[in-house]
Structure 1
Amino acid sequence: MRVLILSALIVGTAACTWVPIEKGGKAVRVLPAGPVVPGCVGKGEIVVSVKSKVAFYNRNPLRVQEELETLARNEAPSAGANAVQALGRPADGSQRFSAWQCP
């Protein structure tokens, strides 16, 4: 019975988005991979992480990637940036982004 309840809780929470977008993050664009728009000025790197595994359950990789992107967008304004670009794929719930100030 305990295993059934625990499994139901894990599956139920795995679908939830745990990272809300903040006011400042809403104005931050996510740039696609490739060359950065001319005129953008680099503002450094942002490293973010979330739980990719809950107990023995691996969370949905798309949900994890979405949360990492949201965290990067939330952090960008504090770096003086209005855009972020992934520097690679997520690994173990962590991802690096470059921060940019674009026109």
Structure 2
Amino acid sequence: MRKTVLLLVPTLLLGACTWGINPTPASQNVRTAWNGDVSGCHDLGKITVSVMDHVGPVDRNDIKVRDELQVMARNEAATMHADTIKPLAEPSDGSQPWGAYQCGSRVIQPATAPGQPQPSASGGTQTFPVKGN
């Protein structure tokens, strides 16, 4: 019984952790140009953000870490009056550099591979259900 309690308590404590990185109201207007061309935008500088990517010997979920890095970059970009951010490198050890840009109303088109059709101008994003989810 005592061993079960000793194993259960740390599990519950780790499960209760919420990292609480939330977007600010101003960051709601900041776009992310994942593969977009920002050549027509004004470069406002570089942002480097970091979060914990592991707790002790346990690695955190990579998707959650990436999501938190993006939220933090958007929050910081909003304080710089940027309206667009772009990752400059892949995350490493919980840290990632981002470029901050002011593009105005310019539409950032995602990059496509040569020979691939361009996305529709009507913003025709499509989603498809995944079996089992």
Q: How much is the aligned-residue C-alpha RMSD, in angstroms?
A: 1.5
Greater RCO, 1 or 2 (C-alpha within 8 Å, sep 6+): 1
Q: How many residues align?
A: 100
- The runs of 4+ residues in structure 1 deviating greater than 3 Å are none
Q: Distance in 2 between matches of 1:72 and 1:62?
A: 15
Q: Distance in 1 between matches of 2:37 and 2:29?
A: 21
Q: Distance in 2 between matches of 1:20 and 1:51?
A: 15
Higher helix share: 1
**For 1:18, which of 17, 20, 25 is the aligned residue?**
20
Q: Which residue of 2 aligns with 1:31?
A: 33
Higher strand share: 1
Q: How far did 1:94 drift?
A: 0.4
Q: Distance in 2 between matches of 1:51 and 1:40?
A: 31
Q: Which residue of 2 aligns with 1:47?
A: 48
Determine helix, strand or coil for the equivalent of 2:101: strand
Structure exhibiting the larger radius of gyration computed from Cα positions: 2
When structure 1 is superposed on structure 2, of 4-13 and 59-68 the one drifting more is 4-13
The one-letter code sitting in structure 2 at the alignment partner of 1:4 is L
TM-score after normalising by structure 2: 0.69
The one-letter code sitting in structure 2 at the alignment partner of 1:40 is C
Q: Distance in 2 between matches of 1:101 and 1:70?
A: 18
Gaps of 5+ in 1: none
TM-score after normalising by structure 1: 0.87
The one-letter code sitting in structure 2 at the alignment partner of 1:88 is A
Gaps of 5+ in 2: 105-133
Q: Distance in 2 between matches of 1:47 and 1:2?
A: 39
